[in-house]
Structure 1
């Protein structure tokens, strides 16, 4: 069942205390800021968040971390010049970190969506990142076994959706969205436009509607646009 909802609060209602949440975006590009703000308002806490980095500045994911809602980050780039909220929490022992090389992160998420039990990769072999993991020599090269990353909920941003939930993205804002949509039990999407079924060129659809559970349209002012609530079987 696909739900078109009128508020961001309704959209993130599937996130409960202790949930593992994938949040799309590469830095600020493609980050679903309005959904994250709604998650802050919802009060959900003790979250494990999967993202490419650990937030920037004082908005979006960074604010979620600042407010103490995140118990653990699984990411590739936890430290950059404006990731001060994560840095402070980590130094204080108030947040856990699972550091994953970016290619491994993408493939572990993709593996979850594809139903793959894991894969071997040379990335991380012989380093601290391989500690406690199975290793093998394959074709003369050291490899480390990586497991899929699953999530309870994915929060992603797309450009357009049609009435059966098919999605297209805007340029690099696409980034982790498609694989996260497939890897989560429940996928929530904010879009700028909803078009009739058949309004998207099938050749351009990136995420099929089968992976999408809830959609909310955000207007140009950043507010949820009313009048879209309906259920589509």
Structure 2
């Protein structure tokens, strides 16, 4: 029998193996697939010894809880010199480092990042994609750079046979920090309890083929020959070090859930006539109107973004209409019931779970029929910003990958923000206090979605608020509906920084949207 080359050690011992200046690939999505015990040990070592220093962190999905966990452990001056990530909003400890130019910061599309590690494993120096064209990622705009300290161009614009692409420089990791469930004596790592696969194997192979160190945190060691080979995601030959978690609080399925069998097992989502209705408010009005754009004949495969778009799924559930559609979540799950908050990315009784890079491959080719996303700022050109607001960096996540390739895109968000108040009565919407922040602006600060690119792709694009619905047309944003009870001039046009095209067939939003009970949405 071949002797295993895998070393079993503690998280503290693993942290000591990370050298100054290393490029570290970090697996995880929010709190799923996160080797929390190793990250805690890295932070502890740095706080005590000021080692390691000047790391480059590379990751795809956002990894954190908006507080202290995940990549928040690395938010210390000197510990990190460069961050290349798909999403930033879950890691508030990074914000002052970027704002004060203490680190170099890049934001690449989440799907692109997941695929970059696959290319790195094969020693392909560039990842070629159309994802990101005409957004802040485009080198003609910002090239994905987030502050003045970030000067190196990691993205090129190239022409191949009269087609324009972005070439993203591949990242070759020195260290990978990953999470699995069980491991045998040979280092084969299974993902039995993991709700997502993510890009674990790509990160491991990219690091191994670069002569680096692959560290995997697991729940338990099992004897050789006991693990189902089909459950093995990371082969032992791609693993160098194993940390068996000493505390299961640091090895949860997600940051919200220690263990939920429904995240990893088959089952039928039973429809119920007795669904508890959510309160009627602006979020629900927006979600109801957005849901009405669905057509089961053409919109079979859908994606719900995080935040307000999750309410669209809730509305379909309340109306017992979710069975008409197959929900997908970008880190890898098809079907089931997508979850929210820090469980986002997981689904109850998913039909299938695939690698994140494969899901984005499906998305990139036009696999999504309809996508529901949030919108923080929208301008006269149909551009949308969800990624950067002054010094605050949310990051794009999968937003660019999804919105540039879905056949139909529906943005959801309130018309204004900050201290806005509404009254909904007798199927009418009344604005009692206008928001202090206008969201329909002359020019968005950061282009996360490009209206001009969408028009070239002939995408169908809508912008849904609680009081107005817009459609992207060749000459700009067209107002197509307003809420009953709303004054066109006072409540809409005077509260925008530009004048939209007003449809000659401008109509009222359906009054059923403003029902206290069910809206009786039925798809034939």
- The TM-score bracket by the shorter chain reads 0.7 to 0.9
Higher relative contact order (CA 8 A, sep 6+): 1
Match of 1:94 among 102, 109, 116: 102
Distance 2:200 2:127 in 1: 21
Match of 1:176 among 190, 196, 199: 199
The Cα shift of 1:116 comes to 2.5
Structure 1 pair 120/223, CA: closer, same or farther in 2 (3 Å)? closer
Report if aligned partners of 2:127, 2:168 keep a CA contact under 8 Å in 1.
yes
Q: What residue ranges of structure 2 are gaps of 5+ in the alignment?
A: 46-50, 140-152, 252-524
Match of 1:149 among 147, 171, 194: 171
Structure 1 residues 73-101: Cα deviation after superposition (integer angstroms, max 9, x where no partner)? 110111x2x53221222111112112111
Match of 1:85 among 90, 93, 96: 93
Larger deviation, residues 48-57 vs 185-194: 48-57
Report if aligned partners of 1:158, 1:173 keep a CA contact under 8 Å in 2.
no
The Cα shift of 1:222 comes to 5.2
Q: Indicate the SS of the match to 1:197.
A: coil
Distance 1:27 1:223 in 2: 14
Report if aligned partners of 1:19, 1:153 keep a CA contact under 8 Å in 2.
yes
Q: Indicate the SS of the match to 2:205.
A: helix
Question: Match for residue 218 of structure 1?
Answer: 245
Distance 2:219 2:201 in 1: 17
Match of 1:167 among 160, 173, 189: 189
Distance 1:196 1:117 in 2: 39
TM-score by length of structure 2 reads 0.40
Structure 1 residues 24-61: Cα deviation after superposition (integer angstroms, max 9, x where no partner)? 11011111111011112232121111123364312231
Report if aligned partners of 2:116, 2:171 keep a CA contact under 8 Å in 1.
yes
Q: CA RMSD in A?
A: 2.2
Match of 2:231 among 201, 204, 209: 204
TM-score by length of structure 1 reads 0.85
Match of 1:73 among 77, 83, 93: 83
Report if aligned partners of 2:71, 2:91 keep a CA contact under 8 Å in 1.
no
Structure 1 residues 100-152: Cα deviation after superposition (integer angstroms, max 9, x where no partner)? 111110111111112333332111234442325141245x6421222321111
Distance 2:92 2:244 in 1: 31
Structure 1 residues 143-199: Cα deviation after superposition (integer angstroms, max 9, x where no partner)? 122232111101111111111111112333432322211111110111001111111
1:1-233 to structure 2, matched below 5 A, reads 1-5=5-9, 7-42=10-45, 43-51=51-59, 52-53=61-62, 55=64, 56-66=66-76, 68-78=78-88, 80=89, 82-131=90-139, 133-138=156-161, 141-169=163-191, 170-184=193-207, 185-221=212-248
Distance 2:68 2:246 in 1: 22
Report if aligned partners of 1:160, 1:193 keep a CA contact under 8 Å in 2.
yes
Question: Match for residue 229 of structure 1?
Answer: none
Report if aligned partners of 1:54, 1:73 keep a CA contact under 8 Å in 2.
no
Larger deviation, residues 207-216 vs 112-121: 112-121
Task: Look at both structures and tell me which one has the larger radius of gyration over its CA atoms.
Answer: 2
Distance 1:23 1:202 in 2: 24
Q: Indicate the SS of the match to 1:175.
A: coil
